[in-house]
Amino acid sequence: MATSEMMLSLGLIEKDVNADTLWVWCYPSISADLREVLLRKCCLPLNNQVLHTFVFGQYCRTWYYITTVEVQEPTALKKVTHFSVVITAKDFNPEKYAAFSRVLCRTYIKHGSPVKMMECYIAVLTKGICQSDENGSFLIKDYDVRKAYLAGSLKDVVSQFGMETIILYTALMLKKRVVVYHPRIEALLEFTRALPGLVWHRKDWSILHPFVHLDDNELENLKLYTGYVAGFVDPEVRDRSDLFDVYVNLPDSEITVSQNAKEAMAMGKLHKEIGNFIVQAAEDTDHTDAQVIKDISVKTKEILSNLMSLADEAENSKLTLETLKQRHYPPATENFLFHLAAAEQLLKI
- The per-residue pLDDT for 4 is 59
User: How far is residue 269's CA from residue 279's CA, in Å, rounded to a whole number?
Assistant: 15
- The per-residue pLDDT for 1 is 43
| Contact predicate 262/255, CB 8 Å | no
- The per-residue pLDDT for 215 is 96
Task: Give, for 219, the enclosing helix (H) or strand (E).
Answer: helix 216-222
Which residues of the chain carry a pLDDT beneath 70? 1-4, 48-49, 133, 315, 349
User: How far is residue 28's CA from residue 105's CA, in Å, rounded to a whole number?
Assistant: 18
**Dihedral (CA of 233, 44, 47, 186) sign:** positive
User: How far is residue 21's CA from residue 23's CA, in Å, rounded to a whole number?
Assistant: 7
Dmax (CA) for the chain in angstroms is 76
- The per-residue pLDDT for 266 is 95
The SS3 of residue 317 is helix
User: How far is residue 299's CA from residue 63's CA, in Å, rounded to a whole number?
Assistant: 31
For residue 330, cis peptide bond before it (omega within 30 degrees of 0): no
User: How far is residue 258's CA from residue 133's CA, in Å, rounded to a whole number?
Assistant: 55
Residue 6 backbone dihedrals phi, psi, to 5 degrees: -75, -25
- The per-residue pLDDT for 349 is 65
Which residues lie below 8 Å from residue 97, measured CB to CB, with a gap of 6+?
A: 56, 65, 87, 89
User: How far is residue 3's CA from residue 190's CA, in Å, rounded to a whole number?
Assistant: 23
